[in-house]
Structure 1
């Protein structure tokens, strides 16, 4: 089931469209007929203000006629093309920051209806390295955003803060199944970001043909005791089932992701994050007079495509 706002938009579109249609087909002709009768009764001479009063649309019909085209366009765009999201946490730093406003391409994956989220059209499926928005498996009312690491059939290992992937063996491999692949990264910088007062290290990770930055907090241990346990595998190893995906945050030590809640069903996929259209900067100064939700600046340098 979709979120409350999506359902509200659909209901508003249907209601305003029905009201507009009902008035146009049933009540508007009656108003025109009343005007003609009044003009005839007045001998063909009737003041314009009187005609306007008789022909005037009811407030509800006028409002429905005005908002229906706009609401309908918004509903179609938001449901099938692009949907805006705001980044609320630091789990995808440094790729996405708190205050980033992004566009999610809905048709990048399967196209779903906006209310019951049933697949209407089979399109593409997520790829390794995509930044995907999906419904949180433990509470589908919430939207989560993470990077896709494992596809159906992949074997995923996270050990010593390092991912290893054995890609799914398919008929295209002709018996030569892929081996275990280390997702390599190289050190970039340290001290730009912190977690719990601890400095974080920034690395550039290379996964197939995709390159992006991640954060690691060297002083924090892996939380293996909280990992999602899959029967028949090691505590830090997962085999992605068919029709499911494995996704993690770029801020590896500050992200609740598939390592903790498990796999993501393909029906929960919302779309692919493709563009930052606005980025607000907020202040953490405790002595600040204005509320913390009021931005102190705009990060224009962050606007553009997401990688």
Structure 2
């Protein structure tokens, strides 16, 4: 078993190393599930086989030592050299390969349950959500807000709150489900979303906005115009670069996106009818975000959870504890 454990750890190190250097994409949820299952096997083997076997061997050592002492006492020998207690403790000691498998099972199980059903950490990798979220923000994602989902397969088994316009949502990127993205929900099923001439319209009505002055984007080292936008009953800040209007067109790498026929692209912008069970996502940094305007809708089964808190930013500690819509 020690050799098998060594092979398993070598495979884990190789997998994580290849993931880190970008040789392949990893699925942390699946990895955590496999680690939980494997360590559970070791934990059960330790509890019901290896630990009882060690205790039986230790008891046999004490029993044999007691019999030896009785036999010597019968011969009139009262002083017997040798203390078997160190040997007994060595027999009872858990070997390294069980300490690093069965011993880790409770910790891995707690992490697996917390991450799968309660909260999951997420690091902001790009500036598409500036000014709401900055590059380097470490945030928490509420996994149960939209319902309880089975880990790995992400199938919803218990419904909770509906997705609302204005929610900041983490989801599995439709082009590459092994990658998590974060954007703001702009359109829910049935909505007609139009983004034209750098203005957002929902079901034919412009989203209310108020100018908030300039915002200095530290990563890009430029000033951008900041606005306060209201989606439903939620207000949030966004950035717009006047004159930076882009010609939107579908550019999904694997071809036309599902329900692409629901979208109309013009020189002024794009208009999409959100299909049932799907959502239209946009970044708050409107002119620096590749989102649903380019790669289409996010299906309900891709939802990871609702983002709500910045719990750490090592480059800007003032960000810690920031709640957001």
TM-score, reference length from structure 1: 0.84
The number of residues matched between the two structures is 277
Q: Which residue of structure 1 aligns with residue 43 of structure 2? A: 20
Instruction: Note if 1:182 corresponds to 2:200.
Output: no
The Cα of 1:6 is off from its aligned counterpart by 1.6
Match of 2:233 among 184, 199, 209: 209
The Cα of 1:196 is off from its aligned counterpart by 6.9
The Cα of 1:69 is off from its aligned counterpart by 1.1
The Cα of 1:55 is off from its aligned counterpart by 2.0
Instruction: Give the Cα separation in 1 of the matches to 2:221 and 2:104.
Output: 50
Instruction: Note if 1:200 corresponds to 2:224.
Output: yes
**Cα distance per residue 1:21-80 (max 9 Å; x no partner):** 112111222222222222121126652101112222222222334211111111100111
SS at match of 1:96: coil
Moved >3 Å (runs of 4+):
194-199, 225-230
CA contact (8 A) 1:128 1:148 kept: yes
Gaps of 5+ in 2: 1-24, 70-82, 252-256
Gaps of 5+ in 1: 167-179, 282-297
For residues 10-49 of structure 1, the aligned pairs below 5 Å read 10-43=33-66, 46-49=83-86
Match of 2:152 among 112, 115, 128: 115
Report the structure number with the largest CA radius of gyration.
Answer: 2
The Cα of 1:263 is off from its aligned counterpart by 0.6
**Cα distance per residue 1:215-265 (max 9 Å; x no partner):** 001131232345789436532210000010001000000000001101110
TM-score, reference length from structure 2: 0.79
Q: CA RMSD in A?
A: 2.2
SS at match of 2:106: helix
Instruction: Give the Cα separation in 2 of the matches to 1:278 and 1:250.
Output: 20
Match of 1:244 among 270, 273, 278: 278
For residues 14-93 of structure 1, the aligned pairs below 5 Å read 14-43=37-66, 46-93=83-130
Match of 1:138 among 163, 175, 180: 175
Match of 2:292 among 250, 258, 264: 258
Instruction: Give the Cα separation in 2 of the matches to 1:95 and 1:184.
Output: 18
Instruction: Give the Cα separation in 2 of the matches to 1:13 and 1:280.
Output: 30
Instruction: Give the Cα separation in 2 of the matches to 1:194 and 1:234.
Output: 35
The Cα of 1:139 is off from its aligned counterpart by 1.0
SS at match of 1:27: helix
For residues 264-303 of structure 1, the aligned pairs below 5 Å read 264-281=298-315, 298-303=316-321
The Cα of 1:93 is off from its aligned counterpart by 0.4
The Cα of 1:127 is off from its aligned counterpart by 0.6
Instruction: Give the Cα separation in 1 of the matches to 2:220 and 2:123.
Output: 23
Q: Which structure features the higher share of helix residues? A: 2
CA contact (8 A) 2:216 2:222 kept: no
Instruction: Note if 1:101 corresponds to 2:138.
Output: yes
